[in-house]
Structure 1
Amino acid sequence: MINDNRWGILYCPKHEMLSSKHRWEKIEKCLKANDVEYDFVQSESSSGVDRLVKMMINNGYKTIVIVGGDSALNDAVNCLMQTDSKVRESVALGVIPNGLMNDFAHFWGFAEGDYDQTIKWLKQRRIRKIDLGCIRYTNKHGEHCRRYFLNCINIGLIAAIMNLRRQTRHYFGSRTLSFFFSFLLMIFQRLEYRMHLKINSDTIKRNVMTVCIGNSTGYGQTPNAVPYNGQLDVSVVYHPEMTQLLEGFYLFVRGKFLNHKSVHPFRTRKVEVLEARKALVGIDGRLMKTPVGPFTVTVEQEVVNFLIPE
């Protein structure tokens, strides 16, 4: 039987030139310095995260810590949501940011590389029940599917940019530089998509550049969203002129995305996407297989125990 205080740690190394072994040695040193009892496994893939989190849950770990980024956290919460609510209630999920994108960790104030402070906070076991967004869709085989998210769903241009950003981050390291390079590349991408959306009492049926449905800050596109109010923030961006596009990028970097006149914000519990013709869909910064036909995005309130700083 696993000691309730013993952590199950899942290490998801970055795929980059810096030594992942060296990074884990630093984390391991901080764990030992803080007298943390733990068992450690390493995963190299999305399917590996799913399998190993299931293993930890089945083995009775009450604290599961993901050493990884937003994608690994997304896989972990989707695994948790497949369990019985009583089992999920007994498990607390924590993160030591170590991904290409760590926006959900940054939302709470966890910093990349500050392993000692992060571990001290996690050891305090301060739990916050958090909301998850949920997309319900039909896949190409006609199967009804659902996928949960911590940060956001992107539909359209930004989904393509976030996909590029994940790739360029390998080369640039900096979040801003990688986004800027992706922004330049997007000039060669499709800039608008025919969409039909229902948000509260509003119906939007027109060409749209991008939509962000945020349970959290949505990589700067839903900056006022918080994952504990039972609401989703939505930013719908109509197609601006090129000069407005440059202004939009400036405001995005400055954290003032909603100030742009092409951005139309909403707050809701449900978004119906009746049409998003040829638009890519991203979930927590990772491209997902594009849903076939209409899909719905909702919020599920206080469904996961998350370890937060003091």
Structure 2
Amino acid sequence: MAVNENKWGILYCPKNSFRPQKRWENIEKVLRSERIDFDYVQSESTGSVERLVKMMINNGYRTLIIIGGDSALNDAVNCLMQTEKEVRDQIALGVIPNGMMNDFAHFWGFQEGEIERSVKWLKEHRVRKIDLGRINYKNKHGEPCHRYFLNCINIGLIATIMNLRRQTRHIVGSRTVSYVISFILMIFQRLEYKMHLKINGESINRKVMTVCVGNALGYGQTPNAVPYNGLLDVSVVYHPEMAQLIEGIYLFVRGKFLNHKSVHPYRTKEVQVRNEEKALVGIDGRLLNSPLGEYTIRVEQEVINFLIPA
């Protein structure tokens, strides 16, 4: 049955934290005080997000609000990109940050502790067409696959750290503590990988510590990237000496990652990757099943309607 097109469809993705229902009750209170007409569903697991978003699309909701983090948003946009363009163009996607990592929400100024401000911004229904990144690859069976991303793709060490951070934050809760633990655990990880990259006609064939392809902030590695210029920012990091590595961690935490001399930045529409030593690949903070052989990362311009602050 079709619903009122002004009614919000809300998907609540609870964190694995203490009293997640209390978080929803606080958000619900704000929604009702702002007289928002909405229906909501709660995801049971990571794998249920795309199914529930598809259900809301099929039921005619034109405003979809994800109360979750980067991974939940990633699932939502991948579901939206499976719909016909005529349907997708009628739908606006918004976020109230509630994930283990909320980098894309932070890009726009949405913060976890500011529910009232987030809801008021979303209520203004200010829509901006935004870009998505897309990775085309083959899975372990040799079948062609693709996946879209809002924030970034990481290849190599940072993908490993982001995976460690996700796991440790489930345990310790604190974002800062999880970062520190992840960097400590980093010393037990492999620090460089043989890769062959092609960026803007330049061929890079050498050992690389990490690569970040950012449509937005890239968890601090592509701080100048914006999801509305039809381009991707790329940071390629060669393996520094130990003192430089410590300096790099410091600059990363301080938000000055590009100042490090081992970081080589690019801006492009497409990156070709031959991941010769099978470095881990992370997409919007979640590991991607290791692509087989070569893969391509490119940008698709202005394909999603996103609700931004008024």
TM-score of the pair, normalised by structure 1? 0.98
- 1:276-308 deviation line (CA, Å, top 9, x unaligned): 412000000001101000000000000000001
| Maintained 8 Å contact 1:63/1:92 | yes
Q: CA deviation at 1:179?
A: 1.4
Q: CA deviation at 1:45?
A: 2.0
CA distance in 1, matches of 2:173, 2:247: 24
Label 1:187 to 1:115 Cα distance change in 2 as closer, same or farther (>3 A).
same
CA distance in 2, matches of 1:202, 1:172: 42
CA distance in 2, matches of 1:84, 1:196: 35
1:198 aligns with 2:175: no
| Maintained 8 Å contact 1:6/1:63 | yes
- Supply the AA of the counterpart residue of 1:51: R
1:282 aligns with 2:282: yes
| Maintained 8 Å contact 1:68/1:99 | yes
Residue 41 (structure 1) aligns with: 41
- Supply the AA of the counterpart residue of 2:156: G
Residue 5 (structure 2) aligns with: 4
Label 1:92 to 1:175 Cα distance change in 2 as closer, same or farther (>3 A).
same
Report matched runs for 1:84-99 at 5 Å: 84-99=84-99
Residue 75 (structure 2) aligns with: 75
Q: CA deviation at 1:113?
A: 2.1
- Report the count of equivalent residues: 309
Q: CA deviation at 1:274?
A: 2.2
Q: CA deviation at 1:172?
A: 3.5
CA distance in 1, matches of 2:83, 2:30: 31
- Supply the AA of the counterpart residue of 1:168: T
User: Identity, % of aligned pairs?
Assistant: 71
Report matched runs for 1:107-256 at 5 Å: 107-256=107-256
- 1:241-280 deviation line (CA, Å, top 9, x unaligned): 1111100000001110000000000000000002341200
- Helix, strand or coil: the match of 2:292? coil
CA distance in 1, matches of 2:225, 2:276: 23
CA distance in 1, matches of 2:90, 2:45: 26
- Helix, strand or coil: the match of 2:293? coil
CA distance in 2, matches of 1:100, 1:276: 30
- Supply the AA of the counterpart residue of 1:11: Y
- Supply the AA of the counterpart residue of 1:15: N
| Maintained 8 Å contact 1:176/1:253 | no
| Maintained 8 Å contact 1:234/1:267 | yes
CA distance in 2, matches of 1:275, 1:284: 19
- Supply the AA of the counterpart residue of 2:51: R
CA distance in 2, matches of 1:275, 1:218: 20
CA distance in 1, matches of 2:276, 2:130: 29
Residue 271 (structure 2) aligns with: 271
- Helix, strand or coil: the match of 1:274? strand
CA distance in 2, matches of 1:275, 1:2: 47
- Supply the AA of the counterpart residue of 2:64: I
- Supply the AA of the counterpart residue of 1:53: V
- Helix, strand or coil: the match of 2:21? helix
- Helix, strand or coil: the match of 2:5? coil
CA distance in 2, matches of 1:219, 1:239: 19
CA distance in 1, matches of 2:183, 2:220: 14
- Supply the AA of the counterpart residue of 1:272: Q
CA distance in 1, matches of 2:169, 2:47: 22
Q: CA deviation at 1:178?
A: 1.4
Q: CA deviation at 1:189?
A: 0.4
- Helix, strand or coil: the match of 2:222? coil
Residue 14 (structure 2) aligns with: 13
Q: CA deviation at 1:4?
A: 1.2
CA distance in 2, matches of 1:249, 1:143: 38
- 1:44-87 deviation line (CA, Å, top 9, x unaligned): 22321010100100110000000000000000000000000010
Residue ranges of structure 2 left out of the alignment (5+ in a row)? none
Q: CA deviation at 1:36?
A: 0.3
| Maintained 8 Å contact 1:154/1:213 | yes
| Maintained 8 Å contact 1:215/1:232 | yes
- Helix, strand or coil: the match of 1:106? helix
Residue ranges of structure 1 left out of the alignment (5+ in a row)? none
Q: Structure 1 residue runs of 4+, over 3 Å off?
A: 171-174
TM-score of the pair, normalised by structure 2? 0.98
